[in-house]
Amino acid sequence: MEDNEKRCGECSWFYAGDSYGTGCCALGFAELCHRDDACDKQQFVSRKEMRHYLAVLLQANLYRRDSHVPAFHKMPSPTELGKAIDFAYEFIKIYSNL
């Protein structure tokens, strides 16, 4: 197994995993897959990337809410904020169709 291979269990679209490692892929409209299977989806997003996007959205929200204290929170870069918004849109769109 190569280190750079994308595994289903590492993807943010993998959900409802049981103790045997079997779960569902939201991108494949709830198709069953195993956590150690190689992921062939083009929209692979690791859980680390997902946490980063969530942190960027939280940072932008805090900046917007605490605008009277601009030194406390910095606005994220526009490219990072755009990527985070795109991911959030895809996440909501995919999981609302399940």
Claim to verify: residue 40 and residue 74 sit in the same structural domain: no
The average pLDDT across 30-52 equals 81
Phi, psi (rounded to 5 degrees) for 51: -65, -35
Give the range of the structural domain holding residue 29, as residue numbers without chain letter: 1-44
Contact assessment for residue 62 and residue 75, using Cβ atoms and an 8 Å cutoff: no
Q: Are residues 33 and 62 in the same domain?
A: no
Q: Is the dihedral of CA 84, 98, 37, 34 positive or negative?
A: positive
- pLDDT at residue 4 greater than cutoff 50: yes
Residue 1 — pLDDT band, cuts 50, 70, 90?
very low
Same domain, 35 and 67: no
82 phi and psi, to 5 degrees? -65, -45
pTM: 0.70
Q: What total number of domains does the chain contain?
A: 2
Quickly state the pLDDT bin for 9 (edges 50, 70, 90).
confident
How far apart CA 96 and CA 98 sit, in angstroms, is 6
